[in-house]
Structure 1
Amino acid sequence: MADPKEGGVVKKGHEEGLKMATTLLEEYGLPLGLLPLADVVEVGFVKSTGYMWIVQKKKVEHSFKMISKLVSYDTSITGFVEKKRIKKLKGVKAKEFMLWPPVSEIIVENPPTGKIQFKSLAGITKTFPVEAFAAGQ
């Protein structure tokens, strides 16, 4: 099987990695606060396939206050980025009651409704206001 990282642009270190992750979110019309990363080791992106990977030193749990939602970001996060959507996402979980179902897809509604959808492999779909994921939330 071909290496999905082949031909990718890679940024090492927190500053450079974070800058690249933010630029990707912006470029593809996704909210900038979607990936609250800490201690980034590496961020990579393959333009031709949309494959993105993020490696951070430790797991991050972030509470999105506006929607009272706790989200866990693993040390390794991967997915395919396209316009207003991340699919086949791995390494991100959102707390639902007592469970942490993995989030498999994130979609900003198009035409814009101001809403963003999170789909899990467990068949759960949640919709929230996009501004809940603005930078600094």
Structure 2
Amino acid sequence: MSKVDKLIEAQSKGAQIFHGEAVCIAKIAEIFQEFSVPSSIFPLKEIIEVGLNRSSGFIWSKQRSKTEHEFKKMGQTILYDVVITCFVEQRHMQKLTGVKTKKLLFSLPISEMIFGFTSDDKVKVVTSTGLYRVHHISEFENEDGTLDTNRLPNISL
């Protein structure tokens, strides 16, 4: 059993767990909205399970297969593993697993994201090596130019 599986097993005690693609997509959007995280940050598809342990702030999602998404405005490709986990609190995701940034011939795991960093329209993305970049929230827009309905509070683009 992997570390991630053990963590999910431990955190699933007392957690709300949801199954089914439609339910999971709606639930992850609801969770992100509650914690002021724009859901366009994680354009996941075919989600089969979502879990939230409110007492610890631990969330996880499982999708059918790994996915890759290019955020065209920042010229960055992000890789999403089958299982993604993190501890979430208001505008902050930490101990993130299952998400990597792909640049040239290598990829780096993203371990933390802070929304509203220095100003409401900034996102700080930190890799597991401690390297970070601050992005404008508009760089995470969907192809139609929206950030979905759960935008960060007080953002004017």
Question: Given the two structures, how large is their TM-score scaled by the length of structure 2?
Answer: 0.81
Matched-pair identity in %: 28
1:9-64 CA distance string (max 9 Å, x none) = 11101111111111111111111201111111100101111000100000010011
Equivalent residue letter for 2:115:
V
Q: Are residues 1:92 and 2:95 paired?
A: no
**Which ranges in structure 2 are unaligned for 5 or more consecutive residues?**
1-5, 146-157
Could you say which structure has the larger radius of gyration? 2
What residue in structure 1 maps to residue 71 of structure 2?
64
2:95 is paired with a residue of what secondary structure? strand
Tell me if structure 2 keeps the 8 A contact 1:71–1:92: yes
Tell me if structure 2 keeps the 8 A contact 1:116–1:127: yes
Tell me if structure 2 keeps the 8 A contact 1:32–1:133: no
Residue 114 (structure 2) aligned to one of 107, 111, 129: 107
What is the RMSD of the two structures over their aligned residues, measured on CA atoms? Answer: 1.7
1:50-93 CA distance string (max 9 Å, x none) = 00010000001001111111000000000001000100000000
The aligned runs of 1:47-62 (5 Å cut-off) are: 47-62=54-69
What residue in structure 1 maps to residue 43 of structure 2?
36
What residue in structure 1 maps to residue 52 of structure 2?
45
1:102 is paired with a residue of what secondary structure? strand
**Which ranges in structure 1 are unaligned for 5 or more consecutive residues?**
none
